[in-house]
Amino acid sequence: MTAPFGLYVHIPFCIKRCDYCAFATWTDRGHLEDSYVDAMLVDVQRHLDVGELPMVTSVFVGGGTPSIINPKLLVEVLNSFPLRDDAEVTVECNPDTVSLELFATYVAGGVNRISFGVQSMVPSVLAALGRTHNPASVERAVHMARDAGIKRINLDLIYGGAGETIEQWRETIVETLKLEPDHVSAYALTVEAGTALADDPSRHPDDDDQADKYLIANSMFAEARLTNYEISNWATPSQECEHNLLYWRQGNYLGVGCAAHSHVDGRRWWNVRTPERYIERISAGQSPESSSEFLDEEHRRVEGLQLSLRTREGVPSNSLGESDLEELEGLITRDGDRLQLTVEGRLLANEVAVRLR
């Protein structure tokens, strides 16, 4: 069996930046699309030439909004690296920027999983988040993807936005479940420096409100037979995201494109942030790497525990002392020789993580 190896492809182009977004994305760089794709193809080939790109077992195309670039160009990138026959290939899509033809091109190019940025199924909440789509476009997009032959669908949700009531959050979950996704990601809205959200304290989320909404989501997803396998992720049996699991298990992966991160055997590095600099570096025959770090054995061990704690796999039972277990009663449960977070423990995961040994 091929050792897992992931590939992350970053598409930095967007039509509109969401109010909470701090990712490396731009709304005025669409004219760089062809040059950017050409640079990524050269970058991939360079890694192939020096033997740094083994058989790829999972791919995640994120951004930005990957679905706004020419799908044929994206497929050209996907076809440039060695993919295992059963590789998971995910592309993030905005419900407003897809078509049946786009999905057909994706399928022909090997894409077998789509992650839709839904965030909410309530128009007023979407508007407060700075999103441009509406619930009807989500439904259309999901049906089009399935009609094109893509069976694996993830729906991304965000809870805790300004003005979102408990009832509206329940409505979002109900409408999401009607679409029968095999995977749902639900994230608490976070305030990132430099965003429109950060500049408006009146819209900042409330911790208690978000905790209540998390518990509601977990309960409703469980009733729909979506099992939590990482704090913010739920899936039906065998439909967990392999690429995300690779991250949480400290696996090796390569990032292609501006601002993309990579990790191989304890060495982490990241590329220059802007598409212009990425293109310039590649065109000049230079590495796009901006900076790097190497994790020593102890650092990797502790980080591995912290990541594993977030998942249903949990951590070895000796990762916490008896006194810690007593103090953390109600947040941790024991399953054989493993310790796992309870539902309440997921809300205080950082409090548990700092005690790992």
Tell me the per-residue pLDDT of 316-328, one tens digit each, with 9 for 90 and over.
999 999 999 999 9
Q: Are residues 95 and 9 in the same domain?
A: yes
Whether 344 has a pLDDT exceeding 80, the answer reads: yes
Residue 56, domain member (yes or no): yes
Whether 8 has a pLDDT exceeding 70, the answer reads: yes
Residue 189, domain member (yes or no): yes
Query: What pLDDT, in 10s, does the model give residues 50-94?
Result: 998 999 999 999 999 999 999 999 999 999 999 999 999 999 999
Q: Are residues 130 and 61 in the same domain?
A: yes
Q: Are residues 69 and 209 in the same domain?
A: yes
Q: Are residues 91 and 201 in the same domain?
A: yes
Name the residue among 246, 250, 217, 212 with its Cα closest to residue 231.
Answer: 217
Whether 130 has a pLDDT exceeding 90, the answer reads: no
Give Dmax over CA atoms of the chain in angstroms: 59
Q: Are residues 36 and 166 in the same domain?
A: yes
HSE-CB at 8 with a 13 A cutoff on CA atoms is 24
**Mean local confidence (pLDDT), 140-162:** 96
Name the residue among 74, 31, 10, 35 with its Cα closest to residue 283.
Answer: 35
pLDDT-derived band at 155 (thresholds 50, 70, 90) equals very high
Beta bridge partners of 230: 233, 311
Whether 228 has a pLDDT exceeding 70, the answer reads: yes
| Residue ending a domain, choose from 247, 266, 289 | 247
CA-to-CA distance for 126 and 3, rounded, in angstroms? 41
Residue 15, domain member (yes or no): yes
What is the domain count for the chain? 2
Q: Are residues 219 and 326 in the same domain?
A: no
CATH number at residue 136: 3.80.30.20
DSSP calls for 295-351: --HHHHHHHHHHHHHTBTT-EEGGGS-HHHHHHTBTTEEEETTEEEE-HHHHHTHHH
Q: Are residues 147 and 14 in the same domain?
A: yes
CA-to-CA distance for 132 and 123, rounded, in angstroms? 9
pLDDT-derived band at 162 (thresholds 50, 70, 90) equals confident
* Its pTM surpasses 0.85: yes
**Mean local confidence (pLDDT), 101-114:** 98
CA-to-CA distance for 335 and 324, rounded, in angstroms? 17
Residue 286, domain member (yes or no): no
| Residue ending a domain, choose from 231, 247, 263 | 247
| Residue ending a domain, choose from 204, 228, 247 | 247
Q: Are residues 224 and 317 in the same domain?
A: no
Name the residue among 230, 187, 173 with its Cα closest to residue 346.
Answer: 230
Whether 315 has a pLDDT exceeding 90, the answer reads: yes
Beta bridge partners of 235: 183, 227
CA-to-CA distance for 178 and 200, rounded, in angstroms? 34
Residue 120, domain member (yes or no): yes
Q: Are residues 235 and 306 in the same domain?
A: no
**Mean local confidence (pLDDT), 189-202:** 92
Residue 164, domain member (yes or no): yes
Whether 49 has a pLDDT exceeding 90, the answer reads: yes
Q: Are residues 181 and 90 in the same domain?
A: yes
pLDDT-derived band at 1 (thresholds 50, 70, 90) equals low
**Mean local confidence (pLDDT), 226-234:** 98
The mean pLDDT value of the chain amounts to: 96
Q: Are residues 313 and 201 in the same domain?
A: no
Task: Supply the range of the domain harboring residue 308.
Answer: 301-353
Return the structure tokens found at 246. 């690779």
**Mean local confidence (pLDDT), 323-339:** 94
Count other Cβ atoms within 10 Å, centred on residue 206: 11
Q: Are residues 243 and 306 in the same domain?
A: no
* Residue 137 burial (C-beta neighbours within 10 Å; 0-12, 13-18, 19+): middle
What percent of the chain lies above the pLDDT cut of 90? 94
Residue 84, domain member (yes or no): yes
Residue 16, domain member (yes or no): yes
